[in-house]
Structure 1
């Protein structure tokens, strides 16, 4: 009887295929068409001054950078809201000690700008592009942004970020002798770019075991965006790591063209990270805009605004008939966040806005939309870095929809 029962149990066993739990986002795929639309956010540097310790300042920047990466922000503006008073030399020495070059306590705008720029840079380029600095002493402990332009050796993308290197470094990477052989000297005359010894051209480190050659002269330690001829990877990709002193194979010496850093987004359909700029005031966020036509949609955030959900076109929340909603398409959208004292205080501290009659009471007139990202909040306060996550998460579908129009 025992044997019969065991046979029946075995016949009833169902073998399930193992579930694939790998993340489909691990290898970023472009949308297939370029986009000219951009999303910008503006944040006051004074939020850094509100943190007492360096670790708190550092972690705050990391949370903002992560939000920018997750929600595909193209530009971050760090503006001065007039709410920070630099400490005197006596106060600084007594409270903070002697931090040579450290700006977290003396210039929070610069600190936020500096660390945000560092985190946006691909990790393999940081050592060459960012010298050792007190602001960055613990930035390496922050979570990775892992954006599409933070390329990995095993993933091929038609565009790639790189840093130019001198001839000596290029020869070392390519396993060549320090002195150029005669064949290389002949190569100079021929103008061949499939190597590093060329009359017009530069070697670029893009994270491969060997360098990539571009047909223009660029000074060393300059960040460049390059484009390869083919969308598909070469047959021998990923390139193997060569042993020390082993020369590069001919097929590993690639050529590429330098392109505008915006081309991967505008032509290739990639999300290619964010740029960072500083603005001297709230009004300068608008007047110093780098886009020819400025921002065509501006959103100010305040707990005195209308519910953000009520202005999003895809929202199901009820709103008054004829209520103003965000356009389904845009060119350059801007979302502005206030500091501890809010955008009202930033407007009151801006001489240019005050001269135009804009202050605490009517700062909402500066924006197309004046919204509250989290009505009915349970905490008395929502920190700026929290407001960034709350607002962008609600707007993400709207932003993506505009890109796909």
Structure 2
């Protein structure tokens, strides 16, 4: 059997995710997957957000269907570089649960509800929470999931879902100047080295004792170690007061692969830094909202969303608002021209999808909107554009997880042009 040191020699060369050059096959085709998929050229300050109701989960009849639905939405968000997903309450989850109770005998329904509550499973009792939980899990890099997500009934079949494979889902043999990690317990650095038979354990153990020694001195900084999915932990410099088991975005000083991973040092940065500084797509943030109006009022960006697009079969055709090159067409195409136009550029774009009954019922269930005189008939006036994604559709219904793909595809060139992508 080969020794541990011998196995290290067979390690393949690292892939640099943001490298400028690309590999090519004999016929000139690009064969380097990471660089072929994503090649940012500059930083990006604009963002793309989508919002959808958790009631779509309540409408799914089984756990497998609920899980598959989440996977389809997460894949769309990853493919089209969505920066934020908002899960809002449209008031329909309770209605679906009531209909489910009528469909089954009371004994069956009550037994199932009690089992769900006892286990913590929220697919039936709290669909908004289920969708939020699953989307957050899928966005998290695989090497961090065990540390950040305890075993939970919601996740029992999450392993069957396809990988999102986003730029921040880095393998151990891939290098990027930015990386996601989890802050370790103070003692775990030495424990991990002991577990893996690290030949430099004594030297590094002594180094940690020396680093930890200032703990007895008032005002001295305590070293903070981060598990970033690399062979060795990463030390934060400057040290930050981040609690153990917290997720953190790291930035290394050099964008080039150092070749060796002992004693790596990085600084903690804002999760938006990879996008704003280099243009890297760094996953999506997931945010819950108690109502349709809360999607707007609780926006995390100063000034809110400057462009909002609502979707409905009663809207105008999206194609009528955009040219083939993704530029906004002349305003118009509907009875209310003020609600059916797209500006030439945006900073924060929001695309909102309805559930089974549409955004109209979400507006009717929102007391804040009712106080402003907005109901299901006038909800389109809330948005800069009120669009129909598939005019003259062949099916009676378009499922929300299908609409997400259609909407993001329809706006793709508009988003790319705004970001200056080629």
Deviations 1:326-353 (A, max 9, x none): 2232100000000000011111111111
Contact 1:168–1:178 (8 Å) recurs in 2: no
**2: distance between equivalents of 1:188 and 1:317?**
58
Aligned match of 1:57? 66
Contact 1:173–1:209 (8 Å) recurs in 2: no
Partner-residue secondary structure (3-state), 2:278: coil
Change (3 A) 1:396 1:190: same
Which ranges in structure 1 are unaligned for 5 or more consecutive residues? 1-15, 192-197, 240-251
Change (3 A) 1:159 1:358: same
Contact 2:327–2:417 (8 Å) recurs in 1: no
Aligned match of 1:43? 52
Aligned match of 1:33? 42
Partner-residue secondary structure (3-state), 1:98: helix
**2: distance between equivalents of 1:222 and 1:368?**
38
TM-score, normalised relative to structure 1: 0.84
Partner-residue secondary structure (3-state), 2:411: helix
Contact 1:38–1:333 (8 Å) recurs in 2: yes
Aligned match of 1:269? 279
**2: distance between equivalents of 1:277 and 1:351?**
20
Partner-residue secondary structure (3-state), 1:290: coil
- Point out the more displaced range, 69-78 or 96-105: 96-105
Change (3 A) 1:172 1:21: same
**2: distance between equivalents of 1:319 and 1:262?**
31
Contact 1:102–1:134 (8 Å) recurs in 2: yes
- Point out the more displaced range, 134-143 or 215-224: 215-224
Partner-residue secondary structure (3-state), 1:299: strand
Matching of residue 255 in structure 1 with residue 259 in structure 2: no
- Equivalent position to 2:86, from 77, 89, 94: 77
Change (3 A) 1:172 1:221: same
Deviations 1:32-79 (A, max 9, x none): 321110000000000000001000000000000000000010000000
Matching of residue 225 in structure 1 with residue 249 in structure 2: yes
Superposed counterparts of 1:92-241, under 5 Å: 92-95=109-112, 98-99=115-116, 100-174=119-193, 175=198, 182=206, 184-188=208-212, 199-215=221-237, 216=239, 217-234=241-258, 236=259
- Equivalent position to 2:300, from 265, 273, 290: 290
**1: distance between equivalents of 2:139 and 2:290?**
22
Deviations 1:66-99 (A, max 9, x none): 0000001000000000112155896643455613
Change (3 A) 1:34 1:204: same
- Equivalent position to 1:396, from 404, 409, 412: 412
Contact 1:189–1:199 (8 Å) recurs in 2: no
Aligned match of 1:380? 396
Contact 2:327–2:344 (8 Å) recurs in 1: no
TM-score, normalised relative to structure 2: 0.81
Partner-residue secondary structure (3-state), 1:227: strand
Contact 1:309–1:315 (8 Å) recurs in 2: no
Whose radius of gyration is greater, 1 or 2? 1
Contact 1:314–1:398 (8 Å) recurs in 2: no
Which ranges in structure 2 are unaligned for 5 or more consecutive residues? 1-24, 334-339
Aligned match of 1:338? 354
**2: distance between equivalents of 1:321 and 1:355?**
29
**2: distance between equivalents of 1:349 and 1:29?**
41
- Point out the more displaced range, 308-317 or 111-120: 308-317
**1: distance between equivalents of 2:328 and 2:184?**
58
How far residue 21 of structure 1 moved from its aligned partner, in angstroms, is: 6.6
- Point out the more displaced range, 198-207 or 77-86: 198-207
